[in-house]
Amino acid sequence: MTQVVSPLVVDDVAEPKPRQKRIALVASKGTLDQAYPPLILASTAASLGWEAGIYFTFYGLDILHKERFEKLKVSSLANPSGPIQLPNILGAVPGATAAATKVMRKWMSDSRMPTVPEFLEMTRDLGVQFFACATTMGVMGVEEKDLIEGSDIAGAAAFLDYAAEADVTLFV
């Protein structure tokens, strides 16, 4: 006697989910004007459902540093597109950095942009990963207790593994 086996119903097979997109960013500058680009890109990516991570290295660690992230400044020296247009020689004049920083903070406030501490909290709440460069921490004497909550310590090799799986990798 022959037994008939019912054919496989294709509709019952689940389609594989598309892989979540990933962005990997490197933040190496710890100035007010350089803190915003990686935070804007990472929070936008996370809002779009992407996985996002920022690797903070060298002076970029100041963005994660509890005692420094509220005091980030804008240098008018060698910053031709900065908030105050000055020849480089005048950028070294006492008070030029404070004036440029004040102008940028006002621009950000007037455009309803969050402060860097607020942006970090918002970005972290969106699930963005913050990686603090272990090597730079050692060089600059930064300890884990100095970093904001939610910061992971990662060496270059660990971040490279993370970035190797990224759809977008930027050094901003």
Amino acid at 26: V
Return the bridge partners of 54, or none: 25, 130
Indicate the domain borders of the chain.
21-70+115-172, 73-113
pTM of the model: 0.84
Q: What is the pLDDT of residues 43-57, one digit of tens each?
A: 999 999 999 999 999
DSSP 113: P
pLDDT at residue number 8: 54
Q: What is the pLDDT of residues 75-99, one digit of tens each?
A: 766 565 655 555 655 556 778 788 8
CATH code of domain 21-70+115-172: 3.40.1260.10
Q: Which residue positions in the chain have pLDDT lower than 50?
A: none
List the structure tokens of 152: 């992971």
Q: Residue 108: exposed, middle, or buried by beta-carbon count in 10 A (0-12, 13-18, 19+)?
A: middle
- Cα–Cα distance between 98 and 12 in angstroms, integer? 65
pLDDT at residue number 99: 82
pLDDT at residue number 152: 98
